[in-house]
Every structure is written in C-alpha cells, then in structure tokens.
C-alpha cells in the first residue's frame, strides 16, 4: 500500500502516538467481499449513468421534471 501527502503524515503520526503499526488501521478491510447491490440500487446507478449521457440541457431538464412529477404521485 502506498500513501502520499497529508493523509500519510496524519496516519503515521496517529499510529506512532498509539504505538500501533499503520497496518492496524486496515485490519479486516476487504475481507467481507464486495457489498451486495440491491436491484433498486442497480437501477438508480443506471438512471444516473444514462442521465449523465444526455448532452442536451433542455432534455436533461425535461427528464428531471418527469422524475419530479412521477415522484409526487
């Protein structure tokens, strides 16, 4: 693991103050595997990606107004 900049300095100083190795702060990271994404979360990500691909500002506003109208029902 390679850290640089202010984060490294703070982490190093905190570890030193606690007399702990820097690896202490990363124990257990990544052991639980990737988080499970629900179907609704997947759909929301897809909507956000598709919306970002719309280059026309008027079309973006129309989609936004449609979403607001559907949400208020």
Per-residue pLDDT 10s for the chain (73 aa) are 555 566 667 888 888 888 888 888 888 877 777 778 899 999 999 999 999 999 999 999 999 999 999 999 7
Q: Any idea where the domains of the chain sit in the sequence?
A: 1-32, 36-73
Q: What is the pTM of this model?
A: 0.51
Q: What pLDDT does residue 62 have?
A: 97
* Long-range contacts of 58-66, Cβ-Cβ distance < 8 Å, separation of 24 or more: none
C-alpha 20/C-alpha 13 separation (Å) is: 10
Q: What tokens does 32 get?
A: 């639980």
């Amino acid at each position: 693991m390679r850290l640089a900049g202010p984060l490294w300095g703070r982490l190093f100083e905190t570890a030193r103050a606690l007399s702990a190795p820097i690896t202490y702060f990363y124990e257990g990271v990544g052991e639980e595997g990737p988080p499970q994404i629900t179907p609704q979360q997947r759909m929301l990500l897809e909507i956000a990606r598709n919306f970002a691909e719309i280059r026309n500002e008027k079309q973006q506003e129309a989609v936004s107004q449609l979403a607001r109208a559907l949400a208020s029902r």
